[in-house]
Amino acid sequence: MTNSRTDERMESANVPNLFFAGTLMQACDYRKTMSGFIHGFRHNVQSLSNMLEAKYHQNEWPGMQVEATPMAVTKQAIGRANGAPGMFCSPVFV
């Protein structure tokens, strides 16, 4: 397949329900992030899995409940920013 195009969900732009894993997963961020390397690729694969789970099995995207107070939200945001590995693999999108 030449000239393959994908959208932000790694789905073919011209063939519905055809998803790509591998090199074509870099299409949206080619040479901007680390998705071409194993430590970035694993985040792309995890995201694709979450998207497919949501689309075909109605499973929600993984997340957590946070108490709706400024202190709880701030604490959670700082904790995620300091420890989320995906943040370091996608510096252009942060």
Phi and psi dihedrals of 11, rounded to 5? -100, 145
Residue 58 has pLDDT above 90, yes or no: yes
Report CA Rg, the chain: 16
Distance between CA atoms of 32 and 83, rounded to whole angstroms? 21
Residue 83 has pLDDT above 60, yes or no: yes
Query: Mean pLDDT for the chain?
Result: 77
Least confident of 16-30, 31-45, 53-67: 31-45
* In contact, 4 and 12? CB cutoff 8 Å: yes
* pLDDT band for position 15 (cuts 50, 70, 90): confident
* pLDDT band for position 1 (cuts 50, 70, 90): very low
- Percentage of residues of the chain with pLDDT beyond 70: 66
| Helix extents (H) in the chain | 38-57, 70-83, 85-89
DSSP 19: B
* pLDDT band for position 74 (cuts 50, 70, 90): very high
